[in-house]
Structure 1
Amino acid sequence: MPDTAQGSAARLFPSAATTSGGVGIELDHVTKTYPGQPVSAVEDFSMRIEPGELVMFVGPSGCGKTTTMKMVNRIIEPTSGSIRIDGQDVLHLSPDQLRRHIGYVIQQIGLFPHMTIADNIAVVPRLLGWSKKRTAERVEELLRTVQLDPGVFAKRYPRQLSGGQQQRAGVARALAADPPVMLMDEPFGATDPITRERLQAEFLRLQAEIGKTIIFVTHDFDEAVRLGDRIAVLGERSRIEQFDTPDAILAAPANDYVASFIGSGAALKRLALVPVSRAALLPADAVARPRIAATRSLRDALDQLIATGSDALDVVDGAGTDGAVIGRIGQAEISAALRGRRAETVTP
């Protein structure tokens, strides 16, 4: 097998040889019980995650969501049940080899303070026996991918980076061996709101390019809505209260517990998921109005309507505002789109 990221992962997960994205994950009746504890930390948990899917685990502290995620790479060993990645039971694999082929990002980032950023990213490729040339190329590639200039950041130490820059370096390290699976444990939780929003946007951009299979733990439902393909709302002992798309959960919470996570403003949250292009637009006319791209969300459109005081916006084909006007949208069209259509996720 050639000395490549894909070749390394394919030794463990064969499907990684034919795709640059992720592989499927199946958890089948997984339980975790600790000695001396009368109640299981995780009880009879079953779920299938599709290749390339980003699944959010959301729930209160202590519900078992992080424990469930950590059993996937065997940082915590399950008491019973099976966990399969690309059809292989992880309990039959070497724990060290398994972890080297699963990216792992935590809230505390976990960069080695005595190593440069380049050396931090190179840790797993070196453990896998990559050549110096291939490792150096991969480090430079990943720094550019997470928008850290290699000429500026490669030789710096973690203490010389801001919190947001350290998080990006942590994501780069998790991606170093091009793992088909990534586990992310509240990776943006320790950052300020502005930095967190920027990191979320960068992460969505990155996932659109790499298409990994990702389990992402968060206690922030708004973050789950913004990032996830599907959301698992977890109760005590990781009991799945609802597992569905963000739009489906916002439109029809399964019970009061799920509704409590959504909180107020469910309709506004759904607006952020629906692109303007999904609305039934009014015909274009000769009147000059503020413009909005068809790829922006209905929430963006409503915000612009309120800010400008206009009765409608001209909708422009494409992602910018210089394209051809394809129709008009006002508050009535926004409301109708929300009531009558299922949402498509908008990627910023």
Structure 2
Amino acid sequence: MSTTAEGAGGASLSLRDVSKVYSGQSTPAVEDFTMDIRPGELVMFVGPSGCGKTTTMKMINRIIEPTSGSILINGRDVLSLNPNDLRRHIGYVIQQIGLFPHMTISENIGIVPKLLGWSKQKTAARVEELLETVQLDPREFSARFPRQLSGGQQQRVGVARALAADPPIMLMDEPFGATDPITRERLQAEFLRLQASIGKTIVFVTHDFDEAIKLGDRIAVLSQRSRIEQFDTPAAILAEPANEYVSSFIGAGAAIKRLALIPVFEADLGPVAGSPWSVPIDATLRDALDLIVLHGAGALDVVEAGKAVGSLDVERISAALGADVPIGRLPTTGHPGGRLS
């Protein structure tokens, strides 16, 4: 694994007929799970509590040993590797964060590099780099202890620690689930920015379908025993749920959820309207719709590099969605302060 981890982007990950049967149980917790994940892909596992999604993820780094099947990273079977060495080259982030309270933030992040025999200088440089990456000032946070950080700051440190040895694969088990909604939304946005720059292969477990839509390149909707009910892009699942089970996870307002996946620049813009409200061209149609409904605006101007380049109204948003969605049925979240630009 060491040859793939150092300076790595993402790695391919394949699970073949993976099953887990616990001792004394006749029913498998996971049964014949098969999936291929491309290098640099962010795959969301979503399903109800107890369906086996976390068990499946934990078999990848062998925190839970598979009963049968094979798991390949860049074509190499993880069952042939020393499990401790394997885990040092797979990043792991959990909801409880798991920072050591008696260690400083710098020491927490540097644990895996230390175990891998990195020099103090190399480890210190990596810790400083990662704190800057997760937007924590090293001068301010390196010497602090976990209890001196907010929940959101601790979660950032957890992500930094998982990235410390530059692993090609990261496993994330509901990492933002214990944070308040505002912090969670901020962490999700920061995580997407980070993934865009590092390109890791990520398996991310969540029970929140909206989070899966926002973050995932592809989503695996799982039922009992980690049966894959549908494995596709967020847009494809929202447009064509495979069955009633998947539809139940999507819930009401599938069309509105799809708006969050469509950037403004994909819509057919109208002429500049001279509206007091504007939306950036790289925002989503959901952002635009929220502003229209919040302010009762007939149209919004679309802004690129500080200049209005067109406009959007409800009809044009509906046309981009490929559906006739009456404005009176559209839920909103709103944006404090009104302007997005």
User: Which residue is equivalent to 2:238?
Assistant: 250
| Paired residue type of 1:299 | R
Q: Does 1:299 align with 2:286?
A: yes
User: Which residue is equivalent to 2:199?
Assistant: 211
Q: Aligned partners of 1:36 and 1:307: how far apart in 2?
A: 56
User: Which residue is equivalent to 1:326?
Assistant: 309
Cα deviations by residue, 1:239-274 (Å, 9 ceiling, x for unpaired): 000101111111111111111111111111111110
- Shift of residue 10 of structure 1? 4.7
User: Which residue is equivalent to 1:314?
Assistant: 301
| Paired residue type of 2:295 | T
- Could you tell me which of 42, 60, 68 is aligned with 1:72? 60
TM-score normalized by structure 2?
0.92
- Could you tell me which of 302, 320, 323 is aligned with 1:337? 320
Contact 2:113 2:123 in 1 (8 A): yes
Q: Aligned partners of 2:19 and 2:141: how far apart in 1?
A: 43
| Paired residue type of 2:303 | V
After superposition, where does 1:151-190 map in structure 2 within 5 Å?
A: 151-190=139-178
Q: Does 1:59 align with 2:47?
A: yes
Q: Aligned partners of 1:103 and 1:310: how far apart in 2?
A: 46
Q: Aligned partners of 2:104 and 2:49: how far apart in 1?
A: 33
What is the root-mean-square deviation in Å for CA atoms of aligned residues?
A: 1.4
Cα deviations by residue, 1:176-220 (Å, 9 ceiling, x for unpaired): 001010000011111111111111111111111111100000011
- Shift of residue 20 of structure 1? 4.1
Q: Aligned partners of 1:106 and 1:176: how far apart in 2?
A: 15
| Paired residue type of 1:205 | R
User: Where do 5+ consecutive residues of structure 1 fail to align?
Assistant: 1-8, 341-348
TM-score normalized by structure 1?
0.90
| Paired residue type of 2:269 | L
Q: Aligned partners of 1:134 and 1:146: how far apart in 2?
A: 19
- Shift of residue 309 of structure 1? 2.4
User: Which residue is equivalent to 2:72?
Assistant: 84
| Paired residue type of 1:184 | M
| Paired residue type of 2:293 | I
User: Where do 5+ consecutive residues of structure 2 fail to align?
Assistant: 324-341
- Shift of residue 310 of structure 1? 2.3
Q: Aligned partners of 2:122 and 2:320: how far apart in 1?
A: 50
| Paired residue type of 2:209 | F
- Shift of residue 316 of structure 1? 1.9
Please give the secondary structure, in 2, of the residue aligned with 1:165. helix
Q: Aligned partners of 1:43 and 1:20: how far apart in 2?
A: 31
- Shift of residue 290 of structure 1? 2.4
Contact 1:289 1:312 in 2 (8 A): no
- Shift of residue 288 of structure 1? 4.9
User: Which residue is equivalent to 1:344?
Assistant: none
- Shift of residue 284 of structure 1? 3.6
- Could you tell me which of 109, 116, 120 is aligned with 1:132? 120
Where do 4+ consecutive residues of structure 1 move more than 4 Å? Answer: none
Q: Aligned partners of 2:206 and 2:278: how far apart in 1?
A: 35
Percent identity over the alignment? Answer: 70
Q: Aligned partners of 1:238 and 1:306: how far apart in 2?
A: 40
Q: Aligned partners of 1:174 and 1:289: how far apart in 2?
A: 45
After superposition, where does 1:22-61 map in structure 2 within 5 Å?
A: 22-61=10-49
User: Which residue is equivalent to 1:227?
Assistant: 215
Q: Aligned partners of 1:314 and 1:175: how far apart in 2?
A: 41
Cα deviations by residue, 1:291-327 (Å, 9 ceiling, x for unpaired): 2111000011111112232221221225xxx1x3322
Q: Aligned partners of 1:161 and 1:281: how far apart in 2?
A: 45
Q: Aligned partners of 2:137 and 2:298: how far apart in 1?
A: 44
Please give the secondary structure, in 2, of the residue aligned with 1:311. coil
Q: Which shows bigger deviation, 89-98 or 19-28?
A: 19-28
Q: Aligned partners of 1:45 and 1:32: how far apart in 2?
A: 10
User: Which residue is equivalent to 1:238?
Assistant: 226
How many residue pairs were aligned? 323
Q: Aligned partners of 1:20 and 1:306: how far apart in 2?
A: 45
Q: Aligned partners of 2:81 and 2:179: how far apart in 1?
A: 35
Please give the secondary structure, in 2, of the residue aligned with 1:314. strand
Contact 1:61 1:219 in 2 (8 A): yes
Contact 2:8 2:167 in 1 (8 A): no
Contact 2:17 2:68 in 1 (8 A): yes
User: Which residue is equivalent to 1:6?
Assistant: none
